[in-house]
Amino acid sequence: MNKKTLLFAGFAVCAIVTIVGMLFFYDKPKPIIESLEQLNSPEYTVAVQMGTSGVPAAEEVYPNSNIKQIESDLVSNCMEVVSGKVDAFLADRPTQEWFAASHPEVVVLPDDAAEGHLVIGAAKGREALIEKVNEFIRQIRADGTYDAMYKRWLLTPDPVLPDDLPKPENPTETLKVVTEGINPPLTYVKDGKLTGYDIEFALRFAAFANVNVEFQDMSWDAMILATQQGQFDLMVSELDKTPENAETMCLSDDYLNSGLSVMILRTRCAQPILDRLKAENKDNNSNAEVKKERTFLQKIAHSFYQNLVYECRWKIILSGFGVTMLITVCSLILGTLLGFLLCMVRRSHNAFGVICAKILIRFIQGTPLMVLLMLMYYGIFSGVRILSNPMHDAILIAIFAFSVNLAVYFAESLRGGLEGIDPGQLEAASAMGFTRFERFRYIKFPQLVQIIMPVYKGEIVSLLKETAIVGYISIQDLTRAGVIIRSLTYEPFFPLVLTAVIYLVVAYTLIFLLTFIEHKTDPKLRPRVLKGVVEQE
């Protein structure tokens, strides 16, 4: 068989595989959605946010649909609809309508698919506090305060906290409130401060109970666990009334009337529904198709302004960057020192010390860093209070966790490097009269640096990137800052790229500095001196 025949056969096989693949993966045009009931079919995929009341509601209302539970933030869930990965997204109406107001490609159907129950949560045993909350809820519903808050935050564009909020008189106690500042209009960050319906509710309740209030911004999973453990008095952050939450926390009455609505793509929405939304003034983007499309450079400039310049949002990034660098540098220094100490114990002649060091090393090497971090924060140090600010305590715990993790890997690299040095060199240096310090300074250390530095550089870069998980324990680092900005702008791309670029620049800066140190300590690159003559480079 000649070359031409083989070439022709190869092209034929590729063409057949391509045609079969196109036929197999061909996605036929999806039908127009004319009603909520239409989604109850196996051909539709409905997304819900894991751990919310949307999960049981979707299973009850759409038992025949493909239910996709997504463990992510609101923006990511909404973008599942925008990207066409799911047909619909079932969630609380206020947050969906806030997203749809800035994304004309989606609409929120006018009728609720199910009832929603947003409540306040507290740890078990705090029934008296929850009853106080219920009393406050009944009062604001009776005197019209609730209606005013609902109109201000859910029906008014660009709402702000009122200046005449009531304040406690001579309070003696402080109410610790945990929330997640990425769910507008209920809780979000504006001008560097938490604001929204939940924040006003908590401030008014603090005045009602005559206590000071202290807010803490945390991720969803960490917030629930911290509330269950009693680290905070109240959780005010779009908490759904589900059987699972009722088993682990004390729940209040509904503090906000919010049904569960469905979001779909505008192009798949039936025209009668769009007409109804327009007639009821519920579609702010009904004329979106006539808006002038921005060029690529205009989109970049607009994203830059929205994500960094507007409301000085660059300060959020700067603050998060400072926290990330603080954790990285402190963990690097402490982890290196602990690594030296652990290596000395590992190489000592103390059998008990060697066994303990081996157990610690094997435990840390076999435990995911996120699990280790959360184990220390929610387990070992859950009741420890060193500083007055909970986030500062969390930073200290994060530094310790990352230091221990770095120390283990650095100690093993150090031990391997020391064992790789020829002992004959040390014996020869000792015979020449070198002291123990001089043997380390001139024989061991230069070679040790060359052996472990490539691995050490990788560990430091990994340490920098691993700090991105500290948001799980209420620390607002660089990654968390990007998530906060995403929640404000609903732009999934620009904040992530910006965060990635910052990490990349810092990582390569650290690599450059460590490479410079490596070259300075490399004996091969030093000028050699022989009988007073210096060899020219």
Looking at residue 290, what is its pLDDT?
A: 41
Cis-peptide into 272, omega within 30 deg: no
Q: How far is CA 3 from CA 6, 11, 14, 16, in A?
A: 5, 12, 17, 20
Q: Where is pLDDT greater, at 444 or 82?
A: 82
Task: Express as a percent the part of the chain with pLDDT over 70.
Answer: 89
Query: Distance (Å, rounded) from C-alpha 41 to C-alpha 45?
Result: 9
Among 154-158, 347-351, 502-506, 528-532, the minimum mean pLDDT is found in 528-532
- For the entire predicted model, the pTM comes to 0.77
Looking at residue 18, what is its pLDDT?
A: 65
Looking at residue 284, what is its pLDDT?
A: 61
Query: Distance (Å, rounded) from C-alpha 187 to C-alpha 196?
Result: 5
- Residue 333 pLDDT more than 80? yes
Amino acid at site 516: F
Looking at residue 530, what is its pLDDT?
A: 56
Query: Distance (Å, rounded) from C-alpha 402 to C-alpha 464?
Result: 10
Closest CA to 258 of 190, 332, 186: 186
Query: Distance (Å, rounded) from C-alpha 448 to C-alpha 452?
Result: 6
Q: How far is CA 150 from CA 144, 156, 170, 353, in A?
A: 10, 9, 29, 63
- Residue 22 pLDDT more than 70? no
Looking at residue 529, what is its pLDDT?
A: 59
Q: At what angle do helices 390-419 and 445-466 cross, to 10 degrees?
A: 150
Q: What SS3 class is residue 295?
A: coil
Query: Distance (Å, rounded) from C-alpha 353 to C-alpha 346?
Result: 7
Amino acid at site 240: D
On whether the CB atoms of residues 97 and 185 are closer than 8 A, the answer is no
Chain mean pLDDT for the chain: 84
305's tokens: 């302004």
Looking at residue 280, what is its pLDDT?
A: 80
Q: Where are the beta strands (DSSP E) in 43-186?
A: 45-49, 66-70, 88-92, 106-108, 117-123, 174-179, 182-183
Tell me the residue length of the chain.
537
Query: Distance (Å, rounded) from C-alpha 367 to C-alpha 66?
Result: 34
Looking at residue 317, what is its pLDDT?
A: 92
**In which band, very low, low, confident or very high, does the pLDDT at 6 lie, cut at 50, 70 and 90?**
low
Query: Distance (Å, rounded) from C-alpha 180 to C-alpha 217?
Result: 5
Q: How far is CA 304 from CA 99, 139, 261, 315, 379, in A?
A: 19, 44, 32, 14, 41
Q: Which residues contact 383 (CB under 8 A, 6 or more apart)?
A: none
On whether the CB atoms of residues 175 and 214 are closer than 8 A, the answer is yes
- For residue 52, give the DSSP letter: S
Tell me the pLDDT tens digit for each residue of 26-49: 455 678 898 889 999 998 999 998
Tell me the pLDDT tens digit for each residue of 275-307: 888 888 777 665 444 445 667 788 788 888 888
Closest CA to 489 of 13, 81, 78: 78
**In which band, very low, low, confident or very high, does the pLDDT at 473 lie, cut at 50, 70 and 90?**
confident
Same fold: 117-257 with 312-527 = no
Looking at residue 243, what is its pLDDT?
A: 84
Q: Mean pLDDT across the stretch 360-376?
A: 90
229: left (phi over 0), alpha (psi -120 to 50) or beta: alpha
Closest CA to 395 of 471, 502, 314: 471
Query: Distance (Å, rounded) from C-alpha 452 to C-alpha 178?
Result: 44
Place of tokens 């751990």: 51
Tell me the pLDDT tens digit for each residue of 434-465: 887 777 777 777 777 778 888 888 899 999 99
Amino acid at site 126: R
Pick the CATH number of 117-257 from 3.30.420.40, 2.30.30.100, 3.40.50.300, 3.40.190.10: 3.40.190.10
- Residue 368 pLDDT more than 80? yes
Say yes or no: domain 37-114+261-291 is CATH 3.40.190.10: yes
Looking at residue 312, what is its pLDDT?
A: 86
Sign of CA dihedral 96, 97, 98, 100: positive
- Residue 1 pLDDT more than 60? no
**In which band, very low, low, confident or very high, does the pLDDT at 502 lie, cut at 50, 70 and 90?**
very high
Tell me the pLDDT tens digit for each residue of 54-69: 888 888 899 999 998 8
CATH of domain 312-527: 1.10.3720.10
Task: Express as a percent the part of the chain with pLDDT over 90.
Answer: 35
Query: Distance (Å, rounded) from C-alpha 331 to C-alpha 325?
Result: 10
Residue ranges per domain, the chain?
37-114+261-291, 117-257, 312-527
Place of tokens 């076999």: 366
